[in-house]
């Protein structure tokens, strides 16, 4: 059954959406390594506000809470947000039913925007880029984790974005780092330059 579900997400190139975190068996919990340690390496100091855009059920949000006074969990799926709030149970986690292109957060109010395996599903990517730029403080960071194009897991290949694709979308940001996280994922860290207003 797991294999069937995984293959459905991989092989149906015409599907606009796919299931996040479902049907990947032990991969989700073992082969990916220690995600808490990964987040600690990406965010070594505590910041005021982190926004997890496309947070789903809050898989990464629980780790982000260890590095921020407040985490906004943003997603268009109300059911996933409910699961996130019920499983994480923290007053510092604020679940917001909104899109990545219209978070309803104040301008220049966010220290870090985090997106894991989600930007590829967002319809108006240009509007999401503009929204990220709007809500980030000057010098704020954008951290992206996503599936490698040649990964055997994740969304259909036609939906996957390469590191070069991200660099084109976020071309008004400075790229700080680009590296492989593990065999299936890569990470990009961008910063918002003070010149961008």
Task: Give the neighbor-by-neighbor strand order of the sheet with 136-147.
Answer: 93-97, 68-75, 47-53, 110-116, 136-147, 185-191, 174-182
CATH number of 34-191: 3.40.50.150
Which of these, 109, 113, 146, lies nearest to 129 by C-alpha position? Answer: 113
pTM: 0.83
Going residue by residue through the chain (197 aa), what tens digit of pLDDT does each one get?
A: 333 333 333 333 323 343 444 443 333 433 456 888 999 999 999 999 999 999 999 999 999 999 999 999 999 999 999 999 999 999 999 999 999 999 999 999 999 999 999 999 899 999 999 999 999 999 999 999 999 998 888 888 889 999 999 999 999 999 999 999 888 999 999 999 854 44
Domain extents for the chain? 34-191
């Amino acid at each position: 059954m797991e294999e069937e579900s995984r293959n459905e997400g991989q092989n149906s190139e015409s599907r606009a959406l796919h299931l996040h975190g479902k049907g990947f068996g032990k991969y989700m919990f073992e082969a990916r390594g220690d995600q808490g340690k990964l987040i600690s390496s990406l965010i070594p100091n505590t910041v005021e506000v982190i926004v997890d855009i496309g947070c789903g059920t809050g898989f990464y949000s629980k780790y982000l809470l260890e590095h921020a006074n407040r985490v906004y969990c943003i997603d268009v799926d109300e059911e996933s947000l409910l699961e996130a709030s019920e499983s994480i149970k923290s007053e510092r986690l604020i679940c917001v039913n909104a899109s990545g292109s219209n978070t309803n957060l104040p301008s220049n109010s966010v220290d870090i925007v985090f997106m894991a395996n989600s930007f590829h599903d967002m319809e108006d990517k240009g509007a999401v880029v503009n929204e990220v730029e709007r809500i980030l403080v000057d010098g704020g960071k954008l951290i992206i984790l996503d599936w490698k194009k040649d990964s055997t897991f994740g969304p259909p290949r036609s939906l996957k974005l390469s590191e070069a694709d991200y660099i084109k979308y976020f071309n008004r940001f400075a790229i700080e780092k680009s590296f492989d996280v593990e065999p299936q994922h890569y990470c990009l860290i961008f910063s918002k330059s003070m010149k961008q207003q």
